[in-house]
């Protein structure tokens, strides 16, 4: 090729090449244009070969410079478009990740905790039986937690409850209440005049921690004080209570027991809701045929109760010759475990969604 032919080749192809390299819309088009115009068989390489064959030095220089200029300009156009396409691909990938057409995540509705449900049910039943809710502090004076409930400082019954003491400076008589009974004492002292019929609900604290005991748990207590309240009234109240909380027709059974604040005292059992009080067979039967829930006894221990001890009345400024009363206390956790067939009390406090989502309501 002559110098003129080389210049023509470079000029004619240059426009098309630059258009293709700058106008490529994606990586594939750009690569095709690069191979076509800048590759080994492209016109730039062809022109460079022809330059080598020129014999006139000046012409060689001129053609060589033109070749290099065109080559560089096209390389720049290629690089420029390449970074534009890469940027465009990155943006597309990002847009995919925040695809606004995806359906939104539903916010899930919460459920009531099984303890809350159980507690509300018990309070509702007690309200139906005439017990007004009463509340008291969880950080309590020794007097209300023990003394007023017939447990002076040297009383052996204090050992029944492992107590958390609160560091209250010079005072050493501040505790985390070990039961809800101090509310009863406070209510009697505040009221001073029977009839008194209240239910007290709340958190209580003891140094316990195993599958069936937690250092913090919930109790509900009821107390009824009036003239001529009898043990038969207690039994009737608890029978009604058990039927409404568990199932119509459940039987209650009372066994003699001891609590410092009641005399006589009883442990109250209800007939097993799983086996109907038979102790074996049914869906709750273990391999040996015995009921898993009641361990074959047919009964479940649910609460302590008794007639209010005269000493408690005296400490609460009521005349034990003029009034009588009964009291009972229930562990809410215990009732929830039985109602829902939960094996480990700690499940109630772990807030595991998989566990809690099983409870409707
Ligand atoms: Zn049973």
The 3-class SS string of 156-219 reads HHHHHCCCCECCECCECCEEECCCCHHHHHHHHHHHCCCCEEEEEEEEEECCCCECCECCEEEE
Task: Report, as an integer, the average pLDDT of 210-230.
Answer: 88
Residue pLDDT, tens place only, 256-302: 999 889 999 999 999 988 788 888 876 667 778 888 778 888 888 88
* Per-residue model confidence (pLDDT) at position 160: 63
Task: Report, as an integer, the average pLDDT of 43-50.
Answer: 87
Distance 9 CA to ligand 1 centre (A): 101
Distance 283 CA to ligand 1 centre (A): 10
Per-residue pLDDT at 209 exceeds 90: no
Task: Report, as an integer, the average pLDDT of 31-53.
Answer: 88
Distance 281 CA to ligand 1 centre (A): 9
Distance 311 CA to ligand 1 centre (A): 38
Average pLDDT, rounded, for the chain: 87
Distance 249 CA to ligand 1 centre (A): 15
Distance 292 CA to ligand 1 centre (A): 6
Distance 276 CA to ligand 1 centre (A): 6
Give the closest residue to 263 by CA, choosing from 309, 220, 304: 309
Decide: 38 and 75 in contact? Cβ < 8 Å: yes
pLDDT exceeding 70 applies to what percent of the chain?
97
Q: Say which residue the tokens 């192809």 belong to.
A: 13
Per-residue pLDDT at 322 exceeds 90: yes
Distance 275 CA to ligand 1 centre (A): 4
Range with the largest mean pLDDT of 97-111, 230-244, 326-340:
230-244
Distance 282 CA to ligand 1 centre (A): 9
Distance 253 CA to ligand 1 centre (A): 14
Residue pLDDT, tens place only, 300-309: 888 999 999 9
* Per-residue model confidence (pLDDT) at position 282: 66
Give the β-pairing of 324-331 and 299-308. Answer: antiparallel
Across 290-308, b (16+ Cβ under 10 Å) vs e yields: bbbbbebbbbbbbbbbbbb
* Per-residue model confidence (pLDDT) at position 284: 67
What gap in Å lies between CA 252 and CA 237, rounded to an integer? 11
Task: Report, as an integer, the average pLDDT of 9-19.
Answer: 87
Distance 106 CA to ligand 1 centre (A): 41
Distance 212 CA to ligand 1 centre (A): 18
Distance 271 CA to ligand 1 centre (A): 8
Residue pLDDT, tens place only, 122-165: 999 999 999 999 999 999 998 999 888 888 888 776 766 688 88
Distance 290 CA to ligand 1 centre (A): 8
* Per-residue model confidence (pLDDT) at position 291: 83
Distance 274 CA to ligand 1 centre (A): 5
Distance 340 CA to ligand 1 centre (A): 14
Distance 277 CA to ligand 1 centre (A): 6
169 by Cβ neighbours in 10 Å (0-12 / 13-18 / 19+) ranks as exposed
353 by Cβ neighbours in 10 Å (0-12 / 13-18 / 19+) ranks as exposed
Per-residue pLDDT at 197 exceeds 70: yes
Distance 286 CA to ligand 1 centre (A): 10
Give the closest residue to 9 by CA, choosing from 63, 36, 47, 40: 47
**Which of 3-7, 183-187, 236-240 has the lowest average pLDDT?**
3-7
Q: Please, what are the domains in the chain?
A: 3-97 (no CATH), 114-356 (3.30.930.10)
pLDDT exceeding 90 applies to what percent of the chain?
35
Per-residue pLDDT at 52 exceeds 70: yes
3 by Cβ neighbours in 10 Å (0-12 / 13-18 / 19+) ranks as middle
* Per-residue model confidence (pLDDT) at position 157: 64
Decide: 34 and 24 in contact? Cβ < 8 Å: no
* Per-residue model confidence (pLDDT) at position 239: 94
* Per-residue model confidence (pLDDT) at position 225: 95
DSSP one-letter code for 327: E
Distance 304 CA to ligand 1 centre (A): 20
CB count within 10 Å of CB 233 equals: 16
- Cα angle: 317, vertex 322, 327; to 5 degrees: 70
Distance 293 CA to ligand 1 centre (A): 5
Distance 284 CA to ligand 1 centre (A): 7
DSSP one-letter code for 291: B
Q: CA of 123: how far to CAs of 80, 87, 198, 249, in Å?
A: 77, 66, 10, 20
Distance 254 CA to ligand 1 centre (A): 17
* Per-residue model confidence (pLDDT) at position 323: 94
Task: Report, as an integer, the average pLDDT of 224-229.
Answer: 94
Distance 342 CA to ligand 1 centre (A): 14
């Amino acid at each position: 090729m002559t110098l003129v032919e080389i210049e023509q080749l470079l000029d004619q192809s240059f426009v098309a090449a630059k258009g293709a390299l700058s106008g490529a819309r994606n990586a594939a088009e750009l690569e095709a244009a690069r191979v076509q115009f800048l590759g080994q068989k492209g016109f730039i390489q062809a022109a460079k070969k022809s330059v080598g064959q020129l014999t006139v030095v000046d012409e060689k220089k001129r053609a060589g410079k033109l070749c290099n200029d065109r080559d560089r300009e096209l390389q720049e156009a290629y690089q420029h478009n390449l970074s534009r396409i890469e940027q465009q691909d990155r943006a597309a990938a990002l847009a995919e990740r925040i695809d606004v057409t995806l359906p939104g995540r539903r916010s899930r509705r919460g459920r009531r905790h099984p303890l809350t449900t159980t507690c509300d049910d018990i309070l509702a039943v007690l309200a139906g039986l005439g017990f007004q809710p009463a509340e008291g502090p969880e950080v309590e004076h020794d007097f209300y937690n023990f003394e007023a409930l017939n447990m002076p400082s040297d009383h052996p019954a204090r050992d029944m409850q492992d107590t958390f003491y609160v560091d209250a400076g010079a005072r050493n008589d501040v505790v985390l209440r070990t039961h809800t009974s101090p509310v009863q004492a406070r209510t009697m002292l505040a009221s001073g005049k029977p009839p008194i019929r209240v239910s007290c609900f709340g958190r209580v604290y003891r140094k316990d921690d195993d599958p069936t005991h937690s250092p913090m748990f919930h109790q509900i207590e009821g107390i009824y004080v009036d003239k001529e309240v009898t043990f038969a009234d207690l039994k009737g109240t608890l029978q009604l209570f058990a039927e409404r909380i568990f199932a119509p027709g459940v039987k209650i059974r009372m066994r003699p027991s001891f609590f410092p604040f009641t005399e006589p005292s009883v442990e109250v059992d209800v007939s097993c809701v799983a086996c109907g009080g038979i102790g074996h067979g049914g869906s709750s039967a273990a391999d040996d045929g015995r009921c898993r829930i009641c361990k074959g006894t047919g009964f479940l221990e649910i609460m302590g109760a008794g007639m209010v001890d005269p000493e408690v009345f005296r400490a609460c400024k009521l005349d034990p010759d003029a009034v009588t009363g009964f009291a009972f206390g229930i562990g809410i956790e215990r009732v929830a475990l039985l109602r829902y067939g939960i094996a480990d009390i700690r499940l109630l406090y772990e807030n595991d969604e998989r566990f809690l989502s099983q409870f409707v309501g």
